Structure 1
């Protein structure tokens, strides 16, 4: 019999046996399963497919083969990985345009207007499947919700550029270099997102901080632990960093 594999994420413990992944559910699971089926119907194959539930009530999802990096190690800081993440996110967004949320859908994050697309909500390296140096899939759609394209892209460039200060252990590059990576990401993503992403990011991170504190106040142990470990403080520092270097970061979009 195939052995179980266990993966510990920031919030959930996920188990895999063979080609099926077992994950804890949330109130958003029914809506997320509809979204995943819709994406596949639209020809988007860079996301898992739901396969029902196990006897313990966990959701069952197909396994996407490849590496899921915890961090952007030097070998992953390539133009190919950056632009492949952007183009795949664009394809996800475009495939979601015709998805119709329902009034009863219980998204983890609130609907953000204008609700142009379905945001992944956590498009970062730790939720990407990488093959041969390129991003080929996104996993963990728990944070999916309707919102603007730039809202989702802002968090993606926060992680992939990255738009983080030198005190953040995941940061690399100067503000000028980071700005160039943001601009390259947005160019690869295509029309609809540009230099305004720099100004959206602080608001996006503030929303994340508010969500973390709300969840912690409601007794969520994972978010209580994140706050105790200083995650919210780190986001606050990165907000200040982006605002301090706003002009340099935006100037990268003026370079051909």
Structure 2
């Protein structure tokens, strides 16, 4: 008999049974399942495939084989992982161009204009499946929402470059090195994105801080705990870091 495995993320508890995972559903789940099925119909298989709901109301999704890391450890700070994460995000975005949200769809994050693609909303190493040193899939689409490409890329480079200040325990590299990794990510992503992504990062992080505080004010215990643990303080410090080194970070795109 196949045993259950339990994984605890930042908000949800996920249980795996064989080749499927069971996750708590949300009001956005029906729209997200349509999105995930659309991705597979378009030939993008770097995302789970929806399998409906279990008797307890949890969503059921296929399991993506590989490793997921909470932090960018030294062995993951490679040009190969950086480039593969960027190309994976590009393929995901391109596959969503023909997705048509319904007017009554519920998304956890607000819709952002211009609605060029579907944003993952949390494209980070802790939601990235890695095999043989390359990014092969994204998981946890709870924060998916319509928006511009740069909005999603901004958070991805914040996590993968990373664009974090020295007080952040996950930070590494000088501003010059971080800028070079941001530029490398954008080059691997392909046409349509450049140095403007640096300017989008502070706005993207501030939107996340505002969202977390709003959720906490509404009684969401997970976000209350995150705030008490200092997550929003780190984001605000990283906002200051990106703004302070804006010119250095943008200059990497000219090399």
| TM-score, scaled relative to structure 1 | 0.99
Aligned-partner Cα distance in 1 for 2:141–2:78 = 25
Counterparts of 1:43-192 in structure 2, within 5 Å, are 43-192=43-192
Following superposition, the deviation at residue 16 of structure 1 comes to 0.2
Return structure 1 stretches of 4+ with deviation > 4 angstroms.
none
- Partner SS for 2:129: strand
Question: For residues 95 and 188 of structure 2, what CA distance do their matches in structure 1 show?
Answer: 17
**Aligned partners of 1:212, 1:109: CA distance in 2, in Å?**
11
Partner SS for 2:152: helix
In structure 2, C-alpha distance between the alignment counterparts of 1:193 and 1:211, rounded to whole Å: 25
Corresponding residue of 1:251: 251
Equivalent residue runs for 1:183-202 within 5 Å: 183-202=183-202
Deviation (angstroms), 1:100: 0.2
State how many pairs are aligned. 255
Gaps of 5+ in 1: none
For 1:235 and 1:67, the matched residues in 2 are separated by: 26
Q: Give distance in 1, aligned partners of 2:211 and 2:222.
A: 12
Q: TM-score, normalised by structure 2?
A: 1.00
Can you list the C-alpha shifts for 1:153-179, whole angstroms capped at 9, x where unaligned? Answer: 000000000000000000000000000
CA distance in 2, matches of 1:110, 1:193: 22
Aligned match of 1:28: 28
* Cα shift at 1:68: 0.3
Report the CA distance between 1:228 and its aligned residue. 0.3
Give secondary structure in 2 for the equivalent of 1:167. coil
Separation in structure 1 between the aligned mates of residue 16 and residue 253 of structure 2, nearest angstrom: 42
Identify the residue that residue 226 of structure 2 maps to in structure 1: 226
The answer for unaligned runs of 5 or more in structure 2 is none
Structure 1 counterpart of 2:38:
38
SS of 2:30's equivalent in the other structure is: helix
